[in-house]
Structures are given as C-alpha cells and as structure tokens.
A and B are shown apart, each in its own frame.
Chain A
Amino acid sequence: MKYSETHEWIKVEKEAGTVGVTDYAQAELGDIVYVELPQVGQEVKAGEEAAVLESTKAAADVYSPVSGKIVAVNDSLDDAPELINTSSERDGWIFKIALSHAEELEKLLDGEQYQSSIK
C-alpha cells in the first residue's frame, strides 16, 4: 500500500490500483454524506482531482496518486457514502485505475513515511 501527501492510498495488483482516502482523512472530514465519483473511462494525471467527497461541513477533493484510466468506481458509495468513514481503507475504496506510468509509484510514501507525515 502506498500513500500520497494529500491522504489518498493506493493498493496495486498487476497494473491496476485501487484508490481511497486514509483513515486520517476521513476523521478530519467528518461524516461523508455524498461522493462525486469519476466516470469509468476517464483519464487522469497524477495529482489531478478524480473525485469529490462532501461532508456536512465542506467538500474535499480526492486526487489521483497516479496517472491512468479509471476502470471501475465503487457504486456502493452512492447509497452508502458513510463507508468511507467506517471502512476507509477497504470497503470505502473509491475507484480503480489502470496505471499508465507505474514508475510514479516510487514518488509516493510508504506506510511509515505517511504515518510520520501526519504526526
């Protein structure tokens, strides 16, 4: 699992990554009431906004940690946006992306580096 400085996580299996936001991010945002998911087929660059999370208080952008094409989105979040709060790093995954530049993963933080960044 790798992490971005903007509190996204990515779990890569073969050339596809699953992306969500970290537990720290969901705690900061509070109750998520709505998720604006990306479109399947959408191309994103690393660091570009791919999704938006709406809490009762504010909207927060989710940035794609890597470049590629969106291959799947978590439709469960339409009816149960709170999955991001209750299971941010598993059932609350937001989208799956086919990586176009796998070397971008090297620039991301590992678990230890991410944990120290949020202290």
Chain B
Amino acid sequence: MRTGIYDKHCVLGAKIVEFAGWDMPVYYRGIIHEHRVVRQKVGIFDVSHMGRIHVKGPDTERFLDYLSTNTIAKKKDFTATYTVWCLESGGSLDDLIVYRISQTEFFVVVNASNRKKDLEHLHRLSNRYEVIIKERYQDGIIAIQGPQAKSLVGQVFDVVDELKPMCFLPVAYHGEEIFLSGTGYTGAGGVEIYASMPAIVDLWDRMLAVGEKYGIEPIGLGARDTLRLEMGYALYGHELNEDIAPTESVSAWTVKWNKENFLGMSALKELQHSPKKRAEYGIVLQGKGIAREGYKVYKEGRQIGKVTSGTMSPSLHKAIAIILVEGKLQEGDNLEVQIRHRSCPAKVVQLPFYSFKPNA
C-alpha cells in the first residue's frame, strides 16, 4: 500500500522499503543526516500508514477507559493520552494514543501493523457499550518535528501558539476539520497533523515550502527509529508484542493500578508477583560493535534475556540498545551482549539515552 504522498517521496529521491505492507521512505539523504536535522532544525515525516479510528457515543469514555492500561476517564477535552491495549492474557495488543474531543467523542491512532487487529478488537469488545466505531483509514497524517517545528507550523496555523504537549486542537482548513496535536515520537518536540489525504498532501507541500527558511527536510522511517530509540520509546513488534506485558516493558508507566478495572488488569496483577516477570532496560555498549534485535544478553556468564532494539546513536555516537530480561537490574550493572562470535561488554543506563539540552 502507498500513502497519497508516495510519488513525492520518489521525486525527492527516497529509498523506499516495505513496512507493514506499506511502501515507505526509509531515508532520502541518509539516516544519520536526517536524524540530526530533526534534533537541530526541523523535519517532516509522512506517517499516513498509521491508522486513525473515531469512536463516539454515550459510552465512549467508559469503553476506551476499559480497553486502556492508562487513565482515559475524566481527562480534559482536547488532551492526548499514550497507552497500551492489552489482551485478556495481559500481553500487549498495541500501543497507541487516545485523543479526547469530548466525553462522547474520541479518536485513536494505532500502529500501521495493527490496523486490522485493533479495529477488530474494538468491534468485538463494543458489544456491551453504546458506541459507533468509524475507521478513517484513507486519511493522512504528517509529523513536523524539531526545535523549529512549532515556529514553522505557526506560519501556517497561528493557533499553534496555544498548542501544548499532549494536547490537540481542531482547525478549519480548506472546508474540512483537521486536527493539530502537540505529539510526536522523536522527543524533539513538534506537531502532528491529521486530515483527509488530499489536505495532507497539500500540507506536505506547504510545510516543505514554508519550511525552507527553517532548513526543513523530509525524514524517513530509518531516522524515525533512531530518534525514538534515543528516547527509549517502545516500537510495537520489538519492545511490545502479544507475548510481552506492558508491565514488562519501557511503557510500564502507562499501567495505572488505581483504575477500577481494565482489560488484562487481573493477568497483570498476577504477573507482578511472578518470578517469571521480565523487565526492559536501556544499555550502552562499552566495546566496539552494535547490538541488534535478537542478540543474547548475559550477566556474569548466564543468559538473562535479549536485545529488543539497537543502533548506533547519531546524537551520542555510542551503540545503544533496549533489552528484555528476567529479573531486576540496576543502573550501572555490567552485562555482556553476544555479537556474532564475540562478547561485548555493556552497561545498564537510565532512559532516555538522550536528553535535550537547550543550550547544547
């Protein structure tokens, strides 16, 4: 599948790869270059492969609160909440953001790889709730991220001045209602825009044109991955999947135990007391090499788990990785990662790997 911006990616010289059934740009000029553009200036991403689903009706708030590990009920209108959705077994179905328009109208944005699964999940669980579910899968999404992002978007939509992180606003654009949100997957700050595909294609061109004086460049999925990994954010399929409970992941903080109930809560409660419960940590390699997904992780000669994601951090010039292991580890613990035929030392660090220092 292709987004409405596909042809433009090709014209811009993108290297296209298949991702979750979509032909997407992995880079245009180079992953490291694009990563730095986002950290230092502003980059624009086509993320229309992700899926937007609208849910409305009198029971919407209760319904979405039940599906989510995080608190959805009683939040303010026009706020966005990152959460995990669990299976009854406690495994993670997906991680996503829930956008509240009002108590009776929400939309959610889910991972491209889980479009079908999540929609089926919503329909299957909606039986006891008075809700209407409408996917907007033909619509588009772009993300403008970086220190200059808000200034740039402000040139087109002055309402962006009022836009706070994890909040969103409806705006009229060419006769339709679009949404601007203070969200992003990069840790660099910025705006995401949700609109019909024609409007998104139009806004892609507009942002590139207006953004020229800010040094804007198109950014591919390759840099998107190195950026989120520097922040210690989960990527579904790596840090989260149906065999990993959210409480075992870097997204454990989304699980709010003070909720009355949510799908998977009892399984998670049981897991809390189990010696089988695992955890995810960030590591930095101390020797030469890069830790890759699947590489085995050892502590004092015994295998404790494996790498879920790894790369060379373009901002830190160090090999970083997230690992999923049995038992608890402390910051500073010494581990070994098996990189092909040799063992490379690594140290456990606090996440995020990268911190934005305004004057750096």
Q: How far is the CA of A78 from the CA of B31 in the complex (A)?
A: 20
Selected interface stretch from B60-68, B176-184, B275-283, B285-293:
B285-293
Question: Which one, A52-60, A62-70, A103-111, is touching chain B?
Answer: A52-60
Instruction: Provide the bound-state CA to CA distance between A33 and B288, in Å.
Output: 11
Q: Which residues of A (1-59) have their CB < 8 Å from a CB of B?
A: 27, 30-31, 33-34, 36, 52, 54-59
CA distance A55 to B288 in the complex (A): 14
B26 to chain A, nearest CB (A): 7
Q: Is the CB of B289 within 8 A of A30?
A: no
- How far is the CB of A3 from the nearest CB of chain B, in Å? 22
Q: Is B27's CB under 8 angstroms from A33's CB?
A: no
Contact of B292 among A30, A33, A59, A78 (CB under 8 A): A59
Closest 9 CB pairs of A and B: A33-B312, A31-B32, A56-B31, A54-B290, A31-B30, A56-B311, A31-B31, A30-B31, A34-B290
Q: How many chain B residues touch the partner (CB < 8 A)?
A: 19
Give complex CA distance A27, B311 in Å. 18
Query: In the complex, what distance in Å separates the CA atom of A55 from the CA atom of B319?
Result: 11
Instruction: State how many angstroms separate the Cβ of B9 from the closest Cβ of chain A.
Output: 16
Q: Are A30 and B312 in contact (CB under 8 A)?
A: no
Q: How far is the CA of A34 from the CA of B319 in the complex (A)?
A: 10
Q: How close is B52's CB to chain A, nearest CB, in angstroms?
A: 27
A33 neighbours in B (Cβ, 8 Å)? 32, 290, 312
Contact A54 B31 (CB under 8 A): no
Distance to closest chain A CB from B225 (angstroms): 8
